[in-house]
Amino acid sequence: MVNLRPNPAFRANAACVLGATGSVGIQTLDVLAECGIPVEMMTAGEGVERFARAVKRFRPKIAAMTTGEAAAKLRELLGDDAPEILWRPDEVLDAVRTTGADIVFHSVSGLAGLDTAIAAAESGKRVGMANKEAIVACGDLILDRAASSGGEIIPVDSEHCAIYRCLEGRDPGDLRRILLTASGGPFFGRTAEELRHVTAAEALAHPTWKMGKKITVDSATLMNKGFEVIEAVRLFGVPENRVDVLVHRQSIVHSMVEWNDNTLLAQMGRPDMRDCIRYALTAPHAAPVTHPPLDLAAIGSLTFAEPDTTAFPLLEAAREAVRMGGTAPACLIAADEEAVDAFLAGQIGFQDIAAVVTETLGRIPALSEINTETAAYTVTQARRFARRQIDLMQRM
C-alpha cells in the first residue's frame, strides 16, 4: 500500500511532467507556474505544436516525444531554443529514473503510461500519480519499486487524493471501509433501454468535470469508477468488498472513509484537479490559494445515491476483475481502451462498450504473476480479442 506519512521536509525545487499536453498535464503546468516551480523535464505523446509552446514557456532541460518523427518536428519548431530532445524509449525511461527534479508528475493516460510509471517509481523521488491504469494493472509492482528506491507516491486522482488526505497519518487498522463518490456522469438516472441510442457527443458532456475524451466516456459508463475501486484496493491495502461507491451529483465530497466506530470523515472541495495536483506538490502541508473558499450555503444540499449496476454493468465488471486477480485488471483496461476508441469512432454503440469489455474479461485467462511481461502479454491478447468482437458487431 501507499505510504500514508509523506515527508514533512519535502520541498519541490523542480518538477518533471510526464504527459504534459493532456488534460491533467496542462493543469499540472498551470499549478507549477502558479507556484513558481521550474520544469526540469517534460514529455508528450502527441500534439507537437502544443508541446512546443509549452517547452518555450517552461524551458525544461529535457523534452521527450514518443516517435522520432515527432521529435524531429519539435526540434524544427524550437530551432536554436531547443533543449535536449529524446524519443527512444530506453533513453526516455532512463531520463525519468535519473531526473534532477524533486517531483515527477505522471499524467500520461492509459496503459501507454505503464513503463514511465515504473521508471518514475524507481527514481527515488516523490511521484504525483494521476495514471490510474498503471496502478490498476501493476500497482503492487509500482509501490514496491517506489519503496525500494526511497521515493513516495501521492495520488492525484481526485477521489484517491481525498482518501489519502483522510487516512494520512492514521492507523490503517482503524479503517472499516472506503466510500468513493461518483458524479454519475451525463446519464445518471437513465435506464438500460434509454441508453441504447446515446451518442458520443452526449457521453462527452460531463456535468461537472473537464477531462479528456477517454476518461469522460469512462465516467459515463461508470468504468472509471470501477478502475478507481481497483485503484483504492491497490493504494490503500483494503479488500474490494470494503470499497463502496456512492453517486454524488454535486462533486463536492470527493470521497469518504468510515472508521471502526461508524463515524465518517469526508474531504470536500471544488471539482478542480488543480487542488489535487497542488497537494501532491506540498503534502503534508496545504498551500494557500487565491480562489474563493467553498460556499456550502450557496450549494445548499449534498445528495447521495446507490449506483445502478444494471444500466451500468462495468462497475461490477471491475469488481470481478479484481476478485479474479493477477492480470485480469490489465485485461479489463485494454478491452475498455479498444471499446471506447471504437465508440468514439462511431463503430459501436454506447452499450456495446460494456459488452466488449465483459466478453473479453471472460475469455482472456488471468495470469497469476503480475509483472511488465505478463501484463504486456495479457494486454496484447485482450486487445486482439476485443477488436475481433468490435469487428463482429460492425458486421451485424
pTM over 0.75: yes
Could you read off the pLDDT tens digit of each residue along the chain, which spans 396 residues? 899 999 999 999 999 999 999 989 999 999 999 999 999 999 998 789 999 999 999 999 999 999 999 999 999 999 988 999 999 999 999 999 999 999 999 999 888 899 999 999 999 999 999 999 999 999 999 999 999 999 999 999 999 999 999 999 999 899 999 999 999 888 898 998 889 889 989 888 877 666 778 888 999 999 999 999 999 999 999 999 999 999 999 999 999 999 999 999 999 999 899 999 999 999 999 988 888 899 999 999 999 999 999 999 999 999 999 999 999 999 999 999 999 999 999 999 999 999 999 999 999 999 999 988 999 999 999 999 999 999 989 877
Alpha-carbon torsion (27, 31, 36, 42), positive or negative: negative
Q: How many residues are present in the chain?
A: 396
Superfamily of domain 15-156 in the CATH hierarchy = NAD(P)-binding Rossmann-like Domain (3.40.50.720)
Q: Is 276 left (phi over 0), alpha (psi -120 to 50) or beta?
A: alpha
State pLDDT tens for residues 258-285. Answer: 999 999 999 999 989 999 999 999 999 9
Question: Which residue stretches of 79-175 are H helix?
Answer: 89-97, 114-121, 132-149, 158-167
Phi, psi of 17 (to 5 degrees): -120, 110
CATH topology for the 325-396 domain: Rna Polymerase Sigma Factor; Chain: A (1.10.1740)
Radius of gyration of the chain (CA): 20
Q: What are the extents of the domains in the chain?
A: 15-156, 158-272+286-311, 325-396
Do the domains 15-156 and 325-396 sit in the same CATH topology, yes or no?
no
